[in-house]
Amino acid sequence: MHIARLVAITELKNVPPDIRPFVEFRAAMEERSLDENELVAILNIDTTTSYFPVFLKEPPTMAALERDLEKQDAKLAADSKAALAMRLKT
């Protein structure tokens, strides 16, 4: 299983161009309109070049995030989980 690590929490307008397609893909999957001022957490899946964005305007629960990561054969690193815990629904 891969480890998902928090890379950044930033406004969408500050997401680097090479990561932006991952954000746009995730938004399309969630049928979400993108707001350039919205906060997004960017997770990197260790040993891959994949990124997993988490939209923080209407954040998921930690349990829902962990289920989504399991579908990607990944789990959240302990330090990343602690950092995200303050931003996600309980």
Over residues 6-35, the pLDDT tens digits come to: 999 999 999 999 999 999 999 999 999 999
Confidence (pTM)? 0.88
- Which pLDDT does position 36 carry in this prediction? 93
The DSSP code sequence of the chain is -EEEEEEEEEEGGGS-TTTHHHHHHHHHHTT----TT-EEEEEEETTSS-EEEEE-SSPPBHHHHHHHHHHTTEEE-HHHHHHHHTTSB-
Q: pLDDT digit string (tens) for 68-89?
A: 999 989 999 999 999 988 888 6
